[in-house]
Amino acid sequence: MTRALLLLLVAGAVAGCCIPSWMPFIGKDKPPPPPAASPAPAPGPSPARLSPNGQRLPDSHEVVDRVICVVNNDAITLFELDEAEAAYLYESKTEAPVDAERQALRDRLLQTIIENRIQLQQAEREKITVDDSEVQDQINEIMKKVNATSPQQFEDVLKQQGLTLDSVKKRLRDQLLVQRLIRRKVALRISVTEQEIDKYLTDNRDKLETGLTFEARHILFVPQAGAGEDGWQAARKKADAVYAQVLAGQDFSELAKKYSEDASAKDGGHLGTLKRGELTPEIEQVILRLQPGESSTPYRSEVGYHLFRLDAKESLTGEALTQARSQIRDILYREKYDARLKEWLAEIKQRAIIDIRL
């Protein structure tokens, strides 16, 4: 297992946490120093440490000591930014960008680290706490994912990646703290009213009904080829005459078999079970304007005159309406949540003293 994958498992261990899944640890402690090297028979250069795009990075002790940003007297190191970049590239399965693109990526990652550090500081000021048992629950989940059957085996996995159990626990605790803070400052201050759901339903009914089915029939009257407008007038007269029979109570299916000039005539004009969006919008609008059992007046299309009959249609009622309202509630909640989170982050970030030295 790679270090980047292990970092992602830890970052994603806290379900629902606001920290992006690509974020590695956001704790304030420095990463553990590399293990001491055994004495060498003769001095020689240390192996080069490479960045995701292959550039040489400073030695480990240089990286740990290099502060790239200070947030309210709290340091962020280059090591943390390198970890964030490695985890992001691992999860997105993309090649490391170069030059300006890489710098833009690292700038975004640094801003995210800064925001999370400010949130941790805010959680500390508000005296938010996390029990040891909650952290241990998250440890147990990670152990399952890495197939560690004992605490000692798990510590061995961490050690192989240059991590310690204490550092993992601290970072999991930090994630839980941030999650709890955001719940207090954002989630619990959001509500979605029934009136808002009603308005969304009204404004987006057509979109919400996409995919619902309906059954319809039609009778087609095709104008004589080459007859020009006279041919169209003759087709309209036929349509009017048959429509009069429909109004008189004649069976639509039998009339379709007798008069329709479409291939569906043998099936009583049945168009089958259709999903909304399958027919041209104009024709579909004519059909769906009807109530089940109703027939349309003659309608002119590019091919001729039609009589349509709606046999049945699904609609947003009953269980379908309940599900739609639940989905709408989720959509509106997420929109409000994202807006409130962005606003709140901007507020606490504005109050912070941030000194970027990168």
Per DSSP, 259 falls in state: H
Q: Which residues are paired to 215 by β-bridges? A: 273, 312
CA atoms of 222 and 259, how far apart (whole Å)? 11
Same domain, 241 and 121: no
Picking from 144, 176, 151, 177, the residue whose alpha carbon sits closest to that of residue 165 is 151
Kindly report, residue by residue over 182-191, the tens digit of the pLDDT: 999 999 999 9
The verdict on 58 and 123 lying in the same domain is yes
Residue 300 has pLDDT above 90, yes or no: yes
Q: Cβ distance 36 to 45 under 8 Å?
A: no
> Could you write out the DSSP letters of every residue in 38-53?
PPPSS--PPPPEE-TT
On whether residue 353 sits in a domain, the answer given is no
Task: Pick the range with the lowest mean pLDDT from 39-43, 86-90, 311-315.
Answer: 39-43
Give the per-residue pLDDT at 278.
86
pLDDT tens digits, residue range 113-171? Answer: 999 999 999 999 999 999 999 999 999 999 999 899 999 999 998 888 888 899 899 98
Residue 121 lies in a domain: yes
Both 217 and 261 in one domain: the answer is yes
Q: Are residues 8 and 111 in the same domain?
A: yes
Cβ-contact 77, 48 below 8 angstroms: no
The distance in angstroms from the start CA to the end CA of the chain is 31
CA geometry: angle at 103 spanning 101 and 107, to 5°? Answer: 120
Distance CA 256, CA 265 (A): 5
Q: Domain count for the chain, please give it.
A: 2
Same domain, 180 and 215: no
What is the predicted pLDDT for the residue at 4? 67
Q: Do both 286 and 240 map to the same domain?
A: yes
Question: Given 185, 220, 253, which residue is the final one in a domain?
Answer: 185
- Pair (110, 151) in one structural domain: yes
pLDDT of residue 1: 67
Residues 218 and 146 in one domain: no
Is 202 domain-assigned? no
How far apart (Å, rounded) are the C-alpha atoms in residues 358 and 354?
A: 12
**CA-CA-CA-CA torsion for 19, 25, 26, 31, nearest 10 degrees?**
-170
Residue predicted with more confidence, 266 or 1: 266
Which carries the bigger pLDDT value, residue 118 or residue 47?
Answer: 118
- Mean pLDDT, rounded, for 287-295: 93
With respect to residue 339, please indicate whether it lies within any of the assigned structural domains. Answer: no
Give me the residue label for tokens 């404004």: 203
Residue 3 has pLDDT above 80, yes or no: no
Residue 260 pLDDT exceeds 90: yes
More confident residue, 232 or 62: 232
pLDDT at 330 over 80: yes
Same domain? For 280 and 180 the reply is no
Examine the domain organization and report whether 177 and 28 are in the same domain. yes
Q: Residue 176 pLDDT > 60, yes or no?
A: yes
CATH code at 307?
Answer: 3.10.50.40
Domain shared by 258 and 219, yes or no = yes
Token duo for residue 35: 């293990």
Whether 333 maps to a domain, the answer reads no
> Burial code of 314-349, b = ≥16 C-beta within 10 A, e = fewer?
eeeeeeeeeebbeebbeebeeebbeebbeebbeeee
Which stretches of 186-225 are DSSP H helices? 194-203, 205-208
Does residue 107 form part of some domain?
A: yes
Residue 26: per-residue pLDDT: 32
214 lies in a domain? yes
In this structure, are strands 270-275 and 299-300 parallel, antiparallel, or unpaired? unpaired
What CATH number is given to the structural domain containing 119?
1.10.4030.10
What confidence score (pLDDT) does residue 14 get? 66
Domain assignment of residue 292, given as a range = 210-313
pLDDT at 251 over 90: yes
* Four-residue CA torsion sign, 35, 40, 43, 47: negative
Residue 60, domain member (yes or no) = yes
DSSP annotation of 260 reads -
- In the prediction, which pLDDT does 317 show? 81
Residues 164 and 19 occupy one common structural domain: yes
- Contact call for residues 193 and 336 (beta carbons, < 8 A): no
Contacts of 313 by beta carbon, 8 Å cutoff, 6+ apart:
212, 213, 214, 215, 288, 292
Give the pLDDT mean for 241-255. Answer: 95
Give the predicted TM-score (pTM) of the model. Answer: 0.63
Residues 6+ apart with CB under 8 A from 297: 243, 307
